[in-house]
Amino acid sequence: MKRILLLTILALCAASCLCRRGGGSDEPVPQKDTVYPLGFCTDSFRVVTGKIENGDNFIAWLTRLGVSAQDANRLVQAGEGVFDVRKLRAGNTWSAYYGDSTKVDYVVYDNSRTRQTVFGLRDSLAVRAYDRPVEVLSRTADFAIETSLWNDMQAAGAPLDLIVEVADIYAWTVDFFGLQKGDRFRIVYEEKMCEGESIGIERVDYAEFIRGDKCLPAVYYDQGDGGNKYWNEKGESMRKAFLKAPLKFTRISSGFSLHRLHPVHHVVRAHTGVDYAAPTGTPVMSIGDGTVLSAGRGSGGAGNMVKIRHNSVYTTAYLHLSRMAVKAGQRVSQGQVIGYVGMTGTATGPHLDFRVWKNGSPVNPLKLESPPAEPIGPEYLPVLDSLCRHYSQTLQAHE
């Protein structure tokens, strides 16, 4: 009896295995459903790619690909709420998929690096949007200054967005025109990736600016008040009342001096400002909130000039502009573009002559003391301290 039971069990097991392998049966083995992100198997078609041309509209573009004008108009209606045909942009890429005939079956338009619109023309007309999956990865960067922030970060392979982010975070506390060889930046940041391609920086979580034995950290923390989000290890805001400089990524061609040989008039006279050499058209920003006192032709050799009163103590001026972007009496905010570099007035080349007055007396802009904004709420200091320690240890682990 036991032997019969054992044989029965073995027979059932064999039958089960045979069934799973598909042997001894004409029934097909169940297959997992294949998911095609665009809704169809792209490998089954002949594909043609291109870009939207200048002057293209939706109908003209599709008819050029072989879609009838009638179907193109029907797709306009089918796409309501999914794709606005008025937002077709010259330079954006597309892919057209053809089956066995010359008739196009699918057209895929790349709205952006992450979104695509699929126009189906095979069995019935349909329009659908597809969002490519985006993942956010934590990254670190560590580099020393050899020439400039821009050049050295590019040489290190840092994303361009990261360079801009770091410059913005430290814009109020680090003089990027005075960086020294050996200065160091260490950064923890989040990078957005789409199908293996970088599509930008989500944010910088933590950074350190190191000069000698001094370290200036900046940590991201949003306390939910809509204000500043970067703080030093003491909870002081990384933002200041004034930016360190009114423009980015240029060089100082002439400093503040009470006894300078004038490059045009060849006489010794005071130069109560700082000259920033930059290409014509470089945006010039207000270093702080304020009201425009004047915007027009300045006296002497100032050329086009914008003058701004920031408070009862400080006033700034921006000389030799090629053109101005503000008017007298206008209220401006910190970082707002108020004009563009030029060489109007007395100038030997395109540059910005930037001047600061404190209580009516000229002061060296490079030595301007800028008070910080409001500190972080005291209730958030323990969290901030924990974040600083965590990210610092993360950077040390990558050394």
> Which of 173, 197, 231 represents a domain boundary (last residue)?
231
Is the pLDDT at 44 greater than 60, yes or no?
Answer: yes
Note the helical H segments in the chain.
2-21, 58-64, 69-78, 149-155, 160-169, 381-397
Do residues 203 and 276 share a domain? no
| 312 pLDDT higher than 90 | no
Indicate whether 201 and 145 sit together in one domain. yes
Instruction: Say yes or no: 91 and 140 in one domain.
Output: no
Task: Tell me, yes or no, whether 106 lies in a domain.
Answer: yes
Residue 22: inside a domain: no
Confidence band of 317 (pLDDT split at 50, 70, 90): very high
Q: Per the structure, how many domains does the chain have?
A: 3
Query: Does residue 240 form part of some domain?
Result: no
Residue 325 has pLDDT above 80, yes or no: yes
- In terms of domains, do 286 and 331 share one? yes
- Mean predicted confidence (pLDDT) in 107-133: 93
Is the model's pLDDT at 26 over the cut of 50?
A: no
Would residue 321 count as lying in a domain?
yes
pLDDT at 249 over 70: no
Q: Is residue 83 part of a domain?
A: yes
Backbone φ and ψ for 44, nearest 5 degrees, come out as -90, 5
Are 341 and 351 in contact, with CB atoms under 8 Å apart? yes
| 243 found inside a domain | no
**Would you say 138 and 190 are in contact if contact means Cβ atoms under 8 Å apart?**
yes
Give this prediction's pTM.
Answer: 0.64
Tokens 């301290």 found at: 385
User: Is the pLDDT reported for residue 27 higher than 50?
Assistant: no
pLDDT at 186 over 70: yes
Average pLDDT over residues 82-104: 91
Q: Which residues contact 359 (CB under 8 A, 6 or more apart)?
A: 313
Asked, for residue 376, whether it belongs to a domain, the answer is no
For the domain that residue 346 is a member of, what is the CATH number? 2.70.70.10
Same-domain pairing of 202 and 224: yes
**Of 199-213, 229-243, 263-277, 345-359, where does mean pLDDT reach its minimum?**
263-277
Sign of the CA dihedral with 110 first, then 115, 121, and 123 last: positive
Q: Is the domain of 99 the same as that of 187? A: no
Confidence check: pLDDT of 17 > 50: no
Domain that holds residue 77: 42-131
With H, G, I as helix, E, B as strand and everything else as coil, classify residue 23.
coil
124 and 149 co-located in one domain: no
pLDDT of residue 298: 85
Half-sphere exposure (Cβ direction) of 179: Cα atoms closer than 13 Å: 25
- From 131, 146, 165, the end of a domain falls on 131
- Asked whether 320 and 344 are in contact (CB, 8 A), the reply is yes
Higher pLDDT, 35 or 93: 93
One domain, residues 119 and 139: no
**Mean pLDDT, all residues of the chain:** 85
Same domain, 154 and 227: yes
CA distance 137 to 114: 16
pLDDT on residue 5: 42
DSSP state string for 15-56: HHHHHHHTTT--SPPP-PPPPPTTSS-GGGSEEEEEEPPTT-
pLDDT of residue 308: 96
The mean pLDDT of 363-379, rounded to a whole number, is 84
Q: Are residues 146 and 209 in the same domain?
A: yes
Same domain, 277 and 171: no
CATH number, domain containing residue 116: 3.10.450.350
Query: Residue 229 carries which DSSP code?
Result: -
Give the model confidence (pLDDT) of 250-301 as tens digits: 667 665 454 444 444 444 355 678 899 999 999 999 999 889 999 999 887 8
| Length in residues, the chain | 399
